[in-house]
A = this chain, B = another copy of it.
Amino acid sequence: MIRFNSDYTEGCHTSILEKLVETNMEQTAGYGEDEYCGQARELIRKACGDERADVHFLVGGTQTNVTVISAALKHYQGVITAKTGHINVHETGALEACGHKCLCIETPDGKLTAEQIAAYTDAHFADESFEHMVQPKMVYISNPTEIGTIYKKAELEAIYQVCKKRGLYLFMDGARLGYGLMCKENDLTLSDITANTDVFYIGGTKVGALFGEAVVIRNEELKKDFRYNIKQRGGMLAKGRLLGIQFLTLFEENRYFDISAHAARLAEKLKDELIKMGVKFYINSPTNQQFPILPDAVLAELKKKYSFAYQERMDETHSAVRFCTCWATKEENVDMLLADIQKLLKADD
């Protein structure tokens, strides 16, 4: 079985394993207060162009989302999110289990716009029953989104302006951030993101690490006491150095960006070649997740050799599915997949 179903099918980048082996029997302080975490924090601050940013390492995405959002909100406040947002769909209500409501906005492409955020917030405060509704206080965006789309620099800046004017915190979920930053359409840098959000995270789990997400907090209000929140939400790893070592390795020698570029390039190849075959897409994604719409008969055959994720039935004979590339994807497998699809499409004609 060749797996394209997700971007966490392999272990981690070899350099990380090497560093783990090398440092294994060293004794260090626990809970992220070791030297490796310190070095990793420095590298990330530098990459973000903000020497004063707080950087924390957590284990996984759901945990990170819950920790960041619940740390920022009071009990009666909620978070604006696209209806497709990971926090709203695929975290088994982890955020609600912390007491907070997802304030959902329908979007065609998984992205929120500055206008939508402004309109939602203004409507809340204009409503005579405003105290009977959850107060919007934070905006959650994923970049890339859950369906592969990305925010352009102008869009992000506009969103952040709207947020600042209305006293909303802006939080970017960067579980797949590398794959967004290194795709062709992207015009954002880590510095841009740092300057145009209050807090965001750089995903490791899906981008070369065994696990781990690096939270970058720029807004002073959100820095205070953050480690209490990490501990309370179960995210304070005893052997915190494991996270430090991983992010240290990823942010040395441009590694995070190079391996992301690899995945982006293979996804583009996949997309371009499928387009040439006349395949339509569920959404126009420039990143490592591609959502082609294929005949069910073709999918039934493909399934025997490849794993991929089911997205949505499109009509009686076609479904949208998801193929992911990642830092570890082999080009030969993409080529084989393309060849197989082409053959099956012809047979299906």
Known A-B contacts A60-B234, A97-B98, A100-B96; the reply to A30 vs B6 at CB < 8 A is yes
Chain B residues in 8 Å Cβ range of A20 = 11, 17, 20, 210
Number of A positions contacting B (CB below 8 A): 78
Q: In the complex, what distance in Å separates the CA atom of A229 from the CA atom of B23?
A: 34
A284 within 8 A of partner (CB): no
A200 within 8 A of partner (CB): no
Nearest CB on B from A212, distance (A): 10
Q: In the complex, what distance in Å separates the CA atom of A12 from the CA atom of B205?
A: 20
A76 within 8 A of partner (CB): yes
Q: In the complex, what distance in Å separates the CA atom of A172 from the CA atom of B206?
A: 34
A81 within 8 A of partner (CB): no
Q: In the complex, what distance in Å separates the CA atom of A78 from the CA atom of B94?
A: 12
Nearest CB on B from A283, distance (A): 18
A71 within 8 A of partner (CB): yes
Chain B residues in 8 Å Cβ range of A315 = none
Nearest CB on B from A273, distance (A): 22
Chain B residues in 8 Å Cβ range of A10 = 24-27
Nearest CB on B from A102, distance (A): 8
Q: In the complex, what distance in Å separates the CA atom of A61 from the CA atom of B205?
A: 21
Nearest CB on B from A326, distance (A): 10
Contact for A227 among B26, B89, B102, B131, CB less than 8 A: B131
B232 lies within 8 A of A91 (CB): yes
A154 within 8 A of partner (CB): no
Interface-located stretch among A38-46, A184-192, A235-243: A235-243
